[in-house]
Structure 1
Amino acid sequence: MKAWLLLFLCIFSIASHAVIKRHDVPAENYLLNDAPKYLIDLPHEGHGVLINEQWVVTVAHTIFYDYRGKELKIGLNHYQIENVFIHPEFKKPSKSLLSGDLAPLMSFLKARSDIALIKLSSPVSSVQPVSLYKNTNEAGKVITVFGKGATGDGLKGEVLETKSSKQLNQFQNIVDGAQANWLTFKFDKPPNVLALEGMHGSGDSGGPSIIYRENKPFLVGLSSWQFAYGDISDFKAGLYDTTAYQVRVSSYVNWIMEIMHHE
């Protein structure tokens, strides 16, 4: 495989996520037959979340090209994308960050705002949007995360070849940190972990992280990237002790509301 393709896959694994599982739990325990209706598949890859009858939120790095005019399937119907709004503090990494020591790339990812809004050309009437989590007490709470991308386990890491199956999985974790624009959690080793302890893998950036209050779902985070160190050529996604970074929705509520109210 060409070096440039290996590098692309490596970077994409750092910044695009699905479900990596415990090695000591049957993989089928993580499988779901039905996706939450607010979970939206994007045109190229990754997910968004329906947060309003006419708006979908996602991470900005899932916007691979101009999506205007493309369609999203929501419930049983298709809706055309009218416009896309990328946060002004989002940037793509330069070539110089995509080789050698990972430390500069990690600093770059942490400094940017990886969030975007998609406006639909017509309102959705058949699916209930998920509410935004507006409190700032996320630390210590159990989150449930959904994804359809690559799978694997904490011992071996992500298996990129599994991404094409697009199986729906869920996992859980506990928010370790809630600072500035990011939520973080660690993929801990068994046995003293959650029954569905998990981690992100390639193919499901923008997937929702949910907190339930009285059985009602609230969107608390969006899958974004994994922290890594050392040389980029040695990076392996999804191993135990890896830390995940998710877009902290509570930090962007004002920006979200401003965009929606002015469009």
Structure 2
Amino acid sequence: MKKSIIFLLMIAFNSQAVVKRHDIKPELYELKSAPEYYVDMPFEGTAVLIDKKWLLAPAHVIYTFFYDYVGKPIEVGGIENRIEKIVFHPEYVQDQTDWGESDPQPLMKFLNTHSDIALIKLTDSVVHINPIKIFSEKTELGLQVTAYGKGAIGNGLTGEIRETKNAGFLERAYNWFRQPFTELAPTQKFRQLNHYNNVITEVDERWIRFKFDAGETALPLEGTIGAGDSGGPAVIFDKGRPKLVGLASWVEINAPLNQFISGKYNSVAVFVRVSSFKEWIDKVLKENGR
């Protein structure tokens, strides 16, 4: 038992997550524990608990082409639950296109014009933790948000180091060892969770955007998303209580696809604008039982 505990602790010290300022100590971004509504999705990415039986996530973190989620277990607030059904937004299109290595514009057009959001219904009601409320107003522009992620590391000078989003040796060994003993899929559970701040600079029908600033215009914990941060929630705090504003989805690419490095200063992150989907969320929950 002691050896197992040591093994898990070694995995937990794998310090990965989000792209940070180069001139701020990385440990200032680190969190000891995740918000209670934060849920690690199977394999990679994040969902959030928005109702006692429902998770909300970007649709692209649900890999139905190789994994059957229905009936499978998922940990919510440290307790195992099961997935009863998944409801994709009707305007979500699964990306199966080869976008080549040069012109980013076709990919940018595709990402801009689909709806990257899905709802996940749980078998059992979650009663030991509180869901996060959705920010439903249309006043996101200019808001300072706090966002979370466990993806690739890097800083504004280097950009993300994409390889760091992958599981390290110890985590891979642990996942291999536990396979015969659990139905739970591997997740980013043992990765270091970081948080960062940014200010929403642009909104449209589906998306909110913010730019990764440097120097005097940057916030003390300015940051942006890295590969593997998909679904990381962006929240505001209203009288100390979090409200969900967005879900990390993609980044704007302004260079040939085979040359672009995400996460450098002035890069733009794009989050699902959750308020735009509030009516659809309420409709799905009503039709499928809260």
Q: Does TM, scored on the shorter chain, surpass 0.5? A: yes
After superposition, the Cα gap between the structure-2 partners of 1:78 and 1:98, relative to the gap in structure 1 and judged at 3 Å, is farther
**Structure 1 contact 177–183 (Cα < 8 Å) conserved:** yes
Q: Distance in 1 between matches of 2:87 and 2:215?
A: 41
Q: How far off its partner does 1:149 sit? A: 1.2
Q: Distance in 2 between matches of 1:207 and 1:230?
A: 25
Give 1:62's aligned residue: 61
Q: Residue deviations 1:235-259, cap 9 Å, x none?
A: 1111111111100000000000111
Q: Distance in 2 between matches of 1:107 and 1:233?
A: 18
Q: How far off its partner does 1:73 sit? A: 1.0
Give 1:234's aligned residue: 259
Confirm whether residue 262 of structure 1 aligns to residue 264 of structure 2. no
Q: What letter corresponds to residue 206 of structure 2 in structure 1?
A: N
Q: How far off its partner does 1:162 sit? A: 2.5
User: Secondary structure at 2:258's aligned position in 1?
Assistant: helix
Counting only pairs closer than 5 Å after superposition, residues 135-146 of structure 1 correspond to structure 2 as: 135-146=137-148
Choose from 223, 233, 248 the match for 1:208: 233
Q: Percent identity?
A: 42
Counting only pairs closer than 5 Å after superposition, residues 66-215 of structure 1 correspond to structure 2 as: 66-163=68-165, 164=167, 166-215=191-240
Q: Distance in 1 between matches of 2:103 and 2:255?
A: 6
Q: Report the aligned-residue RMSD.
A: 1.2
User: Secondary structure at 1:40's aligned position in 2?
Assistant: strand
Higher strand share: 1
Q: Residue deviations 1:147-169, cap 9 Å, x none?
A: 11111100001112322362100
Q: Residue deviations 1:66-110, cap 9 Å, x none?
A: 311222211231000000111111113343434320011001100
Q: Distance in 2 between matches of 1:176 and 1:192?
A: 13
- Larger gyration radius, structure 1 or structure 2: 2
Q: Normalising by structure 1, report the TM-score.
A: 0.91
Q: How far off its partner does 1:42 sit? A: 0.5
Confirm whether residue 46 of structure 1 aligns to residue 45 of structure 2. yes
**Structure 1 contact 188–197 (Cα < 8 Å) conserved:** yes
Q: Residue deviations 1:32-74, cap 9 Å, x none?
A: 0010010000012100000000000000000012311222211
Q: What letter corresponds to residue 125 of structure 1 in structure 2?
A: V
Larger mean CA deviation between 165-174 and 193-202 belongs to 165-174
Structure 1's consecutive aligned runs of 4 or more residues displaced over 3 angstroms after TM superposition are: none
Give 2:27's aligned residue: 28
Q: Residue deviations 1:168-209, cap 9 Å, x none?
A: 000000000121110000001123210000010011211111
Q: What letter corresponds to residue 175 of structure 1 in structure 2?
A: I
Q: Residue deviations 1:15-47, cap 9 Å, x none?
A: xxx510000000001000010010000012100
User: Secondary structure at 2:217's aligned position in 1?
Assistant: coil
Q: What letter corresponds to residue 151 of structure 1 in structure 2?
A: I
Q: Distance in 2 between matches of 1:232 and 1:47?
A: 25
Structure 1 unaligned segments of length 5 or more: list them: 1-17
Q: Distance in 2 between matches of 1:96 and 1:150?
A: 23
